[in-house]
Amino acid sequence: MGGKVAIVADRVGWEERQLIETAGAFDLDVEWVNDEALCLGDPDAGSLSDFDAVLVRSRSYTRGGLLASLAEASRIPTLNSASAIHACENKLALRTELRAAGVPVPDFRLVLSRRDFVKALEQLPLPLVLKPVFGGMGKRVTLLRHPDTAQSVYDYVEDLGHAFEQACLVEPYIEGGSIRCLVVGREPVAVARFVSGGLDWRNNAALGNRTRKVEQEPELLKIVDGVVDVLGSGVYGVDLFETASGYVVNEVNHAPAFRAVASATGVDIPSAVARHVVEVLG
């Protein structure tokens, strides 16, 4: 059984092109729909009424979550779900949900003020990472190595941030790179490690880091399964750190880039996504 699927996104990148090119082999007609021109709100969702399903790949968590909410309200099968996208958008809310479900996450402190920031520095040893609660692609994530510069760094948060942009997490810096697990449905289809290329300490595919394949260990698979239990089945990039006591989940991406992971592992990720869409269409 095929169907017509909208890829709702703000641009057509490598991943979107691969998904569109692969779709025909699964009897799917996939079309890019600009997420800036949907004007949703009418219960009949005229701009999406011709589609059997919507694959939300907006880079903006906020935009993607809002569009998913309205698509679901119009009874259009939506990947990922609005609740999953909203959970991924808020790093604090996601970590809280995961921790409550027994999924290991890094230690952290919520920082809403200079007073919070000072207390976090007293409670957690340097080096530390300061990151926005709302954000992605490694932007505004800052490594704090020295106490004499930490306060100056926070000046920028305090003076340049607006409202929710000032909400930050402070957490221990974990060396060794990060691990990206690409999940489709409930299945981890590919796992790769991102390591800094030397010009930037951050481990993020969007920053051009080196990538290599990682074996799917039982401990890692159990943790990822716990993440899917919380969010529901979908298409996710689950980012983890490896610590002395085991893996911890750093964050989850609702519209993951997968070019680097596909290159490192050789896994045909677009076909895995297409098969999952076919299953959703039933």
Q: Per-residue pLDDT tens for 55-81?
A: 999 999 999 999 999 999 999 999 999
Gap between the Cα atoms of 112 and 95, Å rounded = 17
pLDDT digits (tens, 9 = 90+) for 109-124: 999 999 999 999 999 9
Q: How confident is the model at residue 209 (pLDDT cuts 50, 70, 90)?
A: low
10 Å Cβ neighbour count for 183? 25
In the chain, what percentage of residues exceed pLDDT 90? 79
> Comparing C-alpha atoms, which of 83, 21, 36, 74 is closest to residue 52?
74
Cα 91 to chain center, whole Å?
10
Distance CA 7, CA 210 (A): 28
CA distances from 109 to 123, 146, 158, 244, 245 (A): 9, 18, 17, 21, 20
Split at pLDDT 50, 70, 90, the class of 198 is: low
26, pLDDT greater than 90: yes
Assign 202 a pLDDT band (cuts: 50, 70, 90).
Answer: low
pLDDT tops 70 at residue 35:
yes
Q: 3-class DSSP state for residue 79?
A: strand
In the block, residue with structure tokens 């980012």? 239
Enumerate residues 6+ apart whose C-beta is below 8 A from 263: 211
